[in-house]
Structure 1
Amino acid sequence: MSEAAVRCGWWGWEAVVSRDEMRDPGAGPRLSDADFFGGCLDVARPSMRDVASAADRQDFATARRIFAVAVRGELQPEKYLALPRQPLPPTALAPDESIAGAAERIVRGELISCSRPHPFPGEIDWTLDPTPEGYREWTMQLNRHPEWSILALRYRETGDERFADSFVRMFLGWVRRVLVPIDRPGNETTTWRTIEAGIRMGAHWPTAIHAFLASPVLTDDVLVDWCKSVWEHGRRLWRSHRARNWLIMEMNGLAQIGILYPMLSHAQQWREYALERLAAELECQVHPDGVHGELSTNYHQVVVRNYEQVRDVADAYGVSWPEVFDPWLESMHSVNLGLMQPDGSLPDLNDGRQRPVAPLLHRAVARYPHRADLRWAHTEGRDGRPPAWTSVAFPHAGYYVMRTGWGQEAVWGLFDGGPFGLAHQHEDKLNLLVHAYGQPMLVEAGNYAYDASPMRTYVRSTRAHNTIRVDGQDQNRAQHFDRDAVDLQVTSRAQWASSARVDAVEATYDEGYGTNGSPTVRHTRRVFLIKAGFETLGPMFLVVDRLLPEDDALHTYEILWHLRGRVQAEGLVVAGTSRGTARLAVASSAVDGMTVRVVAGQREPEWQGWVSVGTHQQGEYAPIPTAIYDVAAAGPLRVVTVLYPSPPGAPCAVRGVCASTDVADTAVQIATATGEWLRLDEETLLSERALHS
């Protein structure tokens, strides 16, 4: 160790670094040879002793050569590359693009981030944002380096050194120009956010270094700079990590540094710390019912995937992992099964993503062989057996899933009666989704690019969901939301009951509307799924909304239903018009002055009638018909809506609904296509099994 070495706590531990460690060298990595060889290696390892000895003599050329030889001997490419491969982000590929085609495109300097391609005829500008409307994610995700995984996969298939050369040129261009921040928080900068640092270390960087390790293009000097940058990643992840799903990705990256690079001075400390944090975060971030606290079907998968990846690497390298992982991850996999729609996909909840469940359970069926239901979902019914239950409640997350069965033609609904979520939230409490007879029928706008566009604002708003706006205003839970006060152990205030004939759920929204967040009106929604139908009618949803104002003023209400396919309105019934496919009829009880309009693709005076499509990137949205029931009333109000799904070829069986506006009343009458009036009662529907908290 050089005489210039001093003790420094700047990085959050007593690290040994030289006095010039905080300099700005103008080109990365920041670590000098003296810093790296003199203070960043585990000199207790036999392979590093000669490196340290050469560094003490200031013979850095020898230190580099010996270090590179040692690293090539300690890394284990065949072991790492045999691990289950994480899927490439679809937003880094062109539509229907093969790995071979993507690799050739990358060699030409054409990169894709967030589904938007951009050519780089010369050096890559890693800070560039070529997108409209401030989509900073393009730059951030560019710096996750999925291209390096693509090049690595193609190199292993072909041995073509063009791919290794392209990788090395990109790496050197990045590491020279994109310097690790010295004291910036983890969420700052577009190139060194800690989420990107974690993803780089947990996915694309280890794939690349193990794939290209034997390439002659990967010289000793390149390998030294690589390991310097890995150490810089480690200390940034240690020092500046954040919370929620970011923390899981950060700790995945930090754990992998600690496992894969044992020659680094803090490898064991980083590894142990990361695994301890990951174990603790399961209880901190996941509801007891297994749903991740952000309540997003996308970030739920992100968290599961990162835990599975850490465990795969730990198992392969003989590192013990916390036993608490297993029961929590099994519960999280079970959530995917419980939420699954009849077509085998997940609903697009909050900043979620609609994706097939089967591939998400690949690791689960290996880890939990006793779960025949997970195997059934993973094999799409070819093996195992469906769950013995049908409908299911996630009472902490507030998701209530109603279904008539597990077949593809089943009638399915999901009601959101829960909390706001820790992040990635939408203002959508009391939202309802419906899937029936193989078709999505009642949907929401979904997720969209994290930019500053009107579409991004729309998808997060109440008006993009199937609930009620008050006085032209959206729900506003965000204004009063205190993330630090969230208790994941507390169940939602919703009430739920399920029997063989009827599912019933009830929840209340009383957290305010508009910019002031005033609670002005209390909205209680009760939803029934009558599974076997009623008399001459098939399975249907009965939705009862009770609106209780705090005052005697006149309030306006917009009752929203986002539909799929062509529809037409007749009176207070809005129904699908195509008999060739399954369709949904929406029939509302009458209120004085109530009108109904169908909006699709509206931009002015505000966005309405849109759905996100594709991978939720910029420009990926399409119009959908949205039925809006407008009503003005003073005092308490009860509105009853029947949502009646019909299988292909069947006529619409519902012609209208009659119900009192008195909130104390529970009677409902449904007019059928045959001219009958069928009488239902909320209390009768509940009599088989009373609602319970």
Structure 2
Amino acid sequence: MKPSYPIMESSAPSDAPSETVFPTQSLLATPFAALTHAELLAHFRQRDLDNYFPLSAGKAKHVAGAAPILDNQFTLNNETHRLGEKFDWLHNPSPDLEWLILLHKFYYSRDLALAYDCSGDDCYANKWVALVSSWIEHVPDGFVNSQVTGRRLQQWLLAYHYFVPGRQCSAITAEFLLALLGSIQSQAVFLSRNLTPQGNHRTIELSAIFAVALLFPELSQSAELLAFAQHELLANLREDILADGVQKELSTDYHHTVLKNFLRVRELADLNRLTLPVEFDAVMRKALEFSIYAHKPDGWLPAINDGDINSYLSLLRKAQRYYPSDALSYVLSQGEQGKPPVQRSRLFADSGYCILRSGWAERPYADGRYLFFDCGQLGFGSHGHYDLLSFEMAAYGRSLIVDPGRYTYHEYDSDGVNWRLAFKGTSAHNTVMVDGKDQIAYQCHEPVGPQPRAAVLIFESNQGFDFVHGRALSPRYEVEHQRSIFFAEAEYWIISDLLLASEAHRYEQFFHLAPEAQGQTERLEAEQGHGIQAPDLLIAQARRAEVATSLEPGWVSSEYGVKHPAPVLSFSQQCKGSGWFQTVLYPYKDSAPALHVEAISVTSLGQTVPATQALALIIRIQSETTTYHDCFFVAHQPGLSEYHFADVICRAQLVFIRRDAEDGILSVRAYAAEWLEIGGRKLLDSIGKPVCLNYAKGRLQIDAIDGSVPA
């Protein structure tokens, strides 16, 4: 037996006071309440369309999309059910509540409206009227929850503008129009009394109230609703957008859902000559700035936390009308217009998101290298995945290491798998798992109890390199996970993971590859190190007997309810205490270079230091045209000691040296450095004053650093 679902009349506790109370009055304000039904129908048919969003023309694809709906066949979240002629709106034919939620959101209104616009056939208008009339008759306000009401109102308003203003649609009678307007006002008033406390749902709900009140001044409650929505929208914007411009749920997809709804508010206000506060636009510009950086060079957005894999460039094009900027023009035109953002790479300190990019001037633009590093918390609400210190990486127009997405919000396991957990858990992300445990005990909805914490300790973006160092702590185990990412010469990444502990633990490090790598992945030759060659990507670690390597089946979900097989590379080890991994991620275009990764010893005061204190690698890269011998050193422990490795002596946290095939030095990068000597040649003597050093093309530049930690 399929489940039915209870009515949730309020998202807040039943004893919570209403945010505003509207008196019971007639449906229409003066003088419209005095008009006859026929006069009202004529009034709404004759209204101008210039105060609503521009309507796109219907096409043949909309006629095809609407055809199944005429037969009550609904495909929602990639799951199809045919409902009876007089179906029960409160019964769910699917085990997934999201299916019923989408039925009540009425997104299919758009296909019906556009099919009518394309064909002029009244059957599509008749179906919309029948569905809306049935819903009004059988469903109380508030089913299933408030955000569903907000979405439904948005869809009803869209369809209304295809069927009523400027039309003589026979399906729209005066009686239906009054019933529609009555339900729209009733639902808007319900929302004003039952708003979701915070998050993207509240934004959607307030946006719907704002639209109803602004577009229907004839309704008796519109003036009060409009004042209420204006006040609450600004408060919602202040509350939900962090100081760095990222929406507080820390989902890239829901960030843009919120941005889209606030942009609708801005657009409707502009069309209706309504002035919004200056603060509204200031916060919107910050939110757009995050979007500019978050989009990958190929125009797609990583699905960090809940959401689908989407591109929101069309939304940014719309935003450009109201918030023009050189940076927006540059990204939208792929570098053909405008000017690039001032910073190449960027830390969004309040959210903990770091985005590392190669130069904005890359040509082709889509070939740029990109890495999104998540040093943030779980995020407000229930959309956070257990993914602290995870990342996504793209290069040369392809996503190479990916966040697998969300797949579902439902836990049913007809195939024996809780897919909500499978996509939300730590092992579904590009981070390190300790003892097979998620970073927090699994909850389908909002987390309960102490939460894991993450922080950015260092962020440095300089000539020829980026360096970010983050830390994560979980309440489920004693291990402190530190991860640093070094972006070398805007070419490849070195990831250093340090797991600090006093007790025995098992550590597993995961790299989720894109579906295109399925069946196209090979292990590296033994002399190259541990790792794999995948399409456009080499992943390698120096060989260590204690580390096991495996390639396992995994999944990537690009949209709700759809998953694609994709390989997962893992490195694992059992340690009596602390452990570490150091991984080279080398993207390539067309043909793979020969890559060799080797660990070299590091000494201090004549003693070999443990890997938990400092690590050094030799990385040899040989392509058809170039040969590089790179040397990389990173010190994990605070405080500068004098270290020796290869032919280098240094007091620094980070050193990178690139040599050519003849051992000539091509570039040197160093961070938090006081002393640097290579092959007996002193490059730096700045004892007591840590600096950032860059040497390339015969030029040496030294910049002071303040050593501060981002707030």
SS in 1 for 2:315: helix
Q: Does 1:558 align with 2:508?
A: yes
Q: Residues 547 and 571 of structure 2 are in contact (CA less than 8 Å); yes or no, is this contact kept in structure 1?
A: yes
One-letter code of the match for 1:531? E
CA RMSD of aligned residues (A): 3.0
Seq. identity, %: 25
Deviates more, 1:229-238 or 1:645-654: 645-654
Cα shift readout 1:182-240 (whole Å, capped 9, x = no counterpart): xxxxxxx43xx211111122x21112223222322211211121122112202210111
Deviates more, 1:159-168 or 1:661-670: 661-670
Q: Does 1:362 align with 2:323?
A: no
- Indicate the residue corresponding to 2:646 in structure 1: none
Q: Does 1:610 align with 2:610?
A: no
Cα shift readout 1:306-356 (whole Å, capped 9, x = no counterpart): 111122222222333333221111221111111121212111111133222
- Indicate the residue corresponding to 1:226 in structure 2: 180
Cα shift readout 1:224-269 (whole Å, capped 9, x = no counterpart): 2112211220221011111210000100111112112223222111
Q: Distance in 2 between matches of 1:659 and 1:442?
A: 30
Cα shift readout 1:349-385 (whole Å, capped 9, x = no counterpart): 111332224212122211123x122012223444323
Q: Residues 590 and 659 of structure 1 are in contact (CA less than 8 Å); yes or no, is this contact kept in structure 2?
A: no
- Indicate the residue corresponding to 2:549 in structure 1: 596
**Mapping for residues 196-235 of structure 1, pairs under 5 Å:** 196-201=148-153, 203-213=154-164, 214-235=168-189
| Aligned residue among 581, 596, 618 for 1:639 | 581
- Indicate the residue corresponding to 2:700 in structure 1: none
| Aligned residue among 54, 79, 82 for 2:49 | 79
**Mapping for residues 458-537 of structure 1, pairs under 5 Å:** 458-476=422-440, 492-512=455-475, 517=476, 519-532=477-490
Task: Say if 1:287 and 1:659 are closer, same or farther in 2 by CA, change over 3 A.
Answer: farther
- Indicate the residue corresponding to 1:61 in structure 2: none
Q: Does 1:669 align with 2:641?
A: no
Task: Say if 1:355 and 1:502 are closer, same or farther in 2 by CA, change over 3 A.
Answer: same
Q: Distance in 2 between matches of 1:379 and 1:87?
A: 25
| Aligned residue among 56, 76, 84 for 1:113 | 76
One-letter code of the match for 1:545? D
Q: Distance in 2 between matches of 1:676 and 1:301?
A: 41
Q: Distance in 1 between matches of 2:208 and 2:495?
A: 46
Q: Distance in 1 between matches of 2:86 and 2:386?
A: 43
Task: Say if 1:13 and 1:345 are closer, same or farther in 2 by CA, change over 3 A.
Answer: closer
| Aligned residue among 431, 447, 458 for 2:406 | 447
Q: Which has the higher strand share?
A: 2
**Mapping for residues 41-190 of structure 1, pairs under 5 Å:** 41=27, 43=29, 45-48=30-33, 50=34, 66-67=36-37, 69-70=39-40, 72-73=42-43, 78-79=48-49, 83-84=53-54, 98-131=61-94, 134-180=95-141, 189-190=143-144
Q: Residues 567 and 574 of structure 1 are in contact (CA less than 8 Å); yes or no, is this contact kept in structure 2?
A: no
One-letter code of the match for 1:47? F
- Gaps of at least 5 residues in structure 2 are 1-15, 603-609, 635-653, 656-669, 674-691, 693-702
Task: Say if 1:11 and 1:300 are closer, same or farther in 2 by CA, change over 3 A.
Answer: closer
- Indicate the residue corresponding to 1:256 in structure 2: 211
One-letter code of the match for 1:576? Q
SS in 2 for 1:384: coil
- Indicate the residue corresponding to 2:530 in structure 1: 573
One-letter code of the match for 1:196? V
One-letter code of the match for 2:161? H
One-letter code of the match for 1:46? P
Please report how far the alpha carbon of residue 125 of structure 1 lies from its aligned counterpart in structure 2 after TM superposition.
Answer: 3.1
Task: Say if 1:176 and 1:523 are closer, same or farther in 2 by CA, change over 3 A.
Answer: same
Please report how far the alpha carbon of residue 484 of structure 1 lies from its aligned counterpart in structure 2 after TM superposition.
Answer: 13
Q: Residues 51 and 215 of structure 2 are in contact (CA less than 8 Å); yes or no, is this contact kept in structure 1?
A: no
Please report how far the alpha carbon of residue 590 of structure 1 lies from its aligned counterpart in structure 2 after TM superposition.
Answer: 4.5
- Indicate the residue corresponding to 2:679 in structure 1: none
Q: Distance in 2 between matches of 1:634 and 1:677?
A: 34
Task: Say if 1:129 and 1:86 are closer, same or farther in 2 by CA, change over 3 A.
Answer: farther
| Aligned residue among 265, 273, 277 for 1:322 | 277
Please report how far the alpha carbon of residue 505 of structure 1 lies from its aligned counterpart in structure 2 after TM superposition.
Answer: 0.5
Cα shift readout 1:69-120 (whole Å, capped 9, x = no counterpart): 23642576542685145999xxxxxxx9811211233223222222222223
Q: Residues 542 and 643 of structure 1 are in contact (CA less than 8 Å); yes or no, is this contact kept in structure 2?
A: yes
Please report how far the alpha carbon of residue 478 of structure 1 lies from its aligned counterpart in structure 2 after TM superposition.
Answer: 7.2
Q: Distance in 1 between matches of 2:522 and 2:454?
A: 40
- Number of residue pairs matched by the alignment: 597
Cα shift readout 1:403-428 (whole Å, capped 9, x = no counterpart): 11233222211111122211310100
Please report how far the alpha carbon of residue 626 of structure 1 lies from its aligned counterpart in structure 2 after TM superposition.
Answer: 1.2
SS in 2 for 1:272: helix
Please report how far the alpha carbon of residue 468 of structure 1 lies from its aligned counterpart in structure 2 after TM superposition.
Answer: 0.6
Cα shift readout 1:582-605 (whole Å, capped 9, x = no counterpart): 2x22222455521111101xxxxx
SS in 1 for 2:278: coil
Please report how far the alpha carbon of residue 667 of structure 1 lies from its aligned counterpart in structure 2 after TM superposition.
Answer: 2.6
Q: Does 1:422 align with 2:380?
A: yes
Q: Residues 492 and 587 of structure 2 are in contact (CA less than 8 Å); yes or no, is this contact kept in structure 1?
A: yes
- Indicate the residue corresponding to 2:9 in structure 1: none
Cα shift readout 1:458-481 (whole Å, capped 9, x = no counterpart): 111110111111111121187898
Q: Distance in 2 between matches of 1:376 and 1:678?
A: 34
SS in 2 for 1:624: strand
SS in 2 for 1:494: strand
Deviates more, 1:416-425 or 1:646-655: 646-655
Task: Say if 1:560 and 1:76 are closer, same or farther in 2 by CA, change over 3 A.
Answer: farther
Q: Residues 548 and 573 of structure 2 are in contact (CA less than 8 Å); yes or no, is this contact kept in structure 1?
A: yes
Task: Say if 1:483 and 1:289 are closer, same or farther in 2 by CA, change over 3 A.
Answer: farther
Q: Distance in 2 between matches of 1:14 and 1:283?
A: 24
Q: Distance in 1 between matches of 2:46 and 2:252?
A: 35
- TM-score, scaled to structure 2: 0.78
Please report how far the alpha carbon of residue 635 of structure 1 lies from its aligned counterpart in structure 2 after TM superposition.
Answer: 2.5
Task: Say if 1:76 and 1:542 are closer, same or farther in 2 by CA, change over 3 A.
Answer: farther
Please report how far the alpha carbon of residue 282 of structure 1 lies from its aligned counterpart in structure 2 after TM superposition.
Answer: 1.3
Q: Distance in 1 between matches of 2:458 and 2:57?
A: 39
One-letter code of the match for 1:204? Q
Deviates more, 1:135-144 or 1:327-336: 327-336
Cα shift readout 1:153-195 (whole Å, capped 9, x = no counterpart): 22233332222111111111111111225xxxxxxx43xx211
Q: Residues 144 and 196 of structure 1 are in contact (CA less than 8 Å); yes or no, is this contact kept in structure 2?
A: yes
Please report how far the alpha carbon of residue 41 of structure 1 lies from its aligned counterpart in structure 2 after TM superposition.
Answer: 3.6
- Indicate the residue corresponding to 1:30 in structure 2: none
Q: Which has the higher helix share?
A: 1
Q: Does 1:195 align with 2:138?
A: no
